[in-house]
Amino acid sequence: MNRVESGPALRYAVVIPTIGRSSLQTCVDALAAAAGPPPRQVVVVDDRRTPASGLPLATPDALRGLLAVVTSGGAGGRGPAAARNAGWRAVSPEIPWIVFLDDDVEVGADWGALLAGDLAVGPEVGGVQGTVTVPLPAGRRPTDWERNVSALAGARWITADMAYRRDALTETAGFDERFTRAYREDADLALRVRDAGWKLVRGTRRTRHPVRQADRWISVRLQKGNADDVLMARLHGRDWYERADASRGRRTGQAAITASAALGLLALVAGRRRWAALAAAGWLVGTARFAVARIRPGPRTASEIATMLATSVAIPPAATLHRVRGWWRHRGAGSWPGRPAAVLFDRDGTLIVDVPYNGDREQVAMMPGAGEALRLLHAAGIPAAVITNQSGVARGLLTAQQVGEVNSRVEELLGPFAAWAVCTHGPADGCRCRKPAPGLVRAAAEAIGVTPQACVVIGDIGSDVAAARAAGSRSVLVPTPETLVGELAGARVATDLVAAVRWVLGTEGVRS
């Protein structure tokens, strides 16, 4: 069986989604000027809704030949999650690390040098976060908007500066494109990367995130993110706030204020003036307390106070309405990216007991749970295929006919498969099909009529996982006594075949 050797991966690419902010040039210039190993590629993703012309971006000399501009797809304006997906998928597959930057940040002068150290991590690490600093004005207290942005300095796994291993992005299918706004798509990805078996750590590089200008109603528009919080709860459970180290905000108080306002209006329409007055008093007290809590830490200028008073009236109903909208919109939301189009199984050690170089159909025995796993897939209408290395043919230890007879016996025991992809080459033949190369995965997917990205590979050793990732497929590792401990690092691990298939179907999680 082929095994996978891993070592420190120092090559990286940078992906910067943009909506055409003027700060993009500053971001790219700072990246070009940073000391240390340069990126192998820089991909700027144009996510403007109506890009009538090219981005106003001049390529610095240090990045000439390395920087490319792509679009997020469709008519544009698909949001940061879709833009980042378009970016990392445009990066050369040989580059193992993708660093995501926002278009309004400035990396530090030694950013590249520190990044090289950050990425010299073990295979169990799937992502490394940079340290983000938010400069606040000197000589006065920050405004409500400035305080909001400054929270990024303590946020976990934000893509203002976040490096992900390509394999982690492949295994999770990247960012969930149902998040069309910023702020939650990065927390969602981080939780899924950890669920898939990787660790996330903090690095030493530093990136500056200036506070951009915003109008006085920005805090009201930000309430649209409440719908994303509902989606997060659907996907990760109600404890996702604690797991992502995110703030719950004031949603209970906001709901109470909104309810008071609604009850007051209903009572007034019904002619119940006393009840209307009581509800109005509750609304007034709640709104006043909310406004004071926002005014107290700020600069308390006339303009800031006026903004806080106006927006404190608008925020509770806006937040509540967006939560209701999110509840309705995402009421049936399933995991990203949903069920695969096909499942590709390794043969020996996964579907059947591994008998080295077996050419005798009488020695074929099913692995525990194999029959039930295939039954579950069949019931769900998901085709299954087999991808298997059979180097015994190249070694002269068995014949292609014997391999075929064993495969026939497997189908007698487990039922027919949608496709078989068999590599009979030896390790020294340099073929593109033998796992951990992606050839078998691609061949099986093509035979079924699906893309490798729409497949999940289930196997028992590291070469199965590596072949899946090389082809752009997700994977599940079902360990046996032959599985090396090192192969569990950074892998999605299931205790048995049935658990693996239940994860594929979205009915059961797997351990990491």
Q: What region, left, alpha or beta, does residue 317 occupy, with left being phi > 0 and alpha being psi -120 to 50 degrees?
A: alpha
Q: Quick count: other Cβ atoms within 10 Å of Cβ 292?
A: 12
Is the bond leading into 383 cis (omega within 30 degrees of zero)? Answer: no
- Which residue out of 161, 346, 460, 464 is catalytically annotated? 346
Going by the DSSP 8-state scheme, the letter that residue 427 receives in this structure is: G
Task: Identify whether the C-beta of residue 479 lies closer than 8 Å to the C-beta of residue 350.
Answer: no
- Which residue out of 104, 228, 348, 464 is catalytically annotated? 348
User: Which residues does 435 contact at the CB level (< 8 Å), separation at least 6?
Assistant: 2, 346, 387, 389, 423, 463, 464, 466, 467
Backbone angles phi, psi at 73, to 5 degrees: 105, 155
Residues in the chain: 512
d(CA 31, CA 137) in angstroms, rounded, equals 24
Task: Identify whether the C-beta of residue 441 lies closer than 8 Å to the C-beta of residue 387.
Answer: yes
Task: Identify whether the C-beta of residue 459 lies closer than 8 Å to the C-beta of residue 450.
Answer: no
User: Which residues does 45 contact at the CB level (< 8 Å), separation at least 6?
Assistant: 15, 16, 17, 18, 69, 70, 71, 72, 83, 84, 86, 87, 90
d(CA 48, CA 146) in angstroms, rounded, equals 25
d(CA 60, CA 31) in angstroms, rounded, equals 9
Do β-strands 125-133 and 199-208 pair in parallel, antiparallel, or remain unpaired? parallel
CA distances from residue 195 to 154, 233, 468, 476 in whole angstroms, order as listed: 22, 15, 18, 12
Rg, the chain, Cα only: 27
| Identity at 358, one-letter amino acid code | N
The answer to whether 348 is a known catalytic residue is yes
User: Which residues does 395 contact at the CB level (< 8 Å), separation at least 6?
Assistant: 357, 426
DSSP per residue over 150-207, as a string? HGGGG-SS-TTEEEEEHHHHHHHTSS-TT--SSSSHHHHHHHHHHHTT-EEEEEEEEE
| Token pair belonging to 26 | 């500053």
**Residue found by looking up tokens 């703030």 in the block:** 247
Please name which of 169, 229, 176, 157 lies closest in space to residue 193, comparing C-alpha atoms.
169
Q: Report the catalytic residues.
A: 346, 348
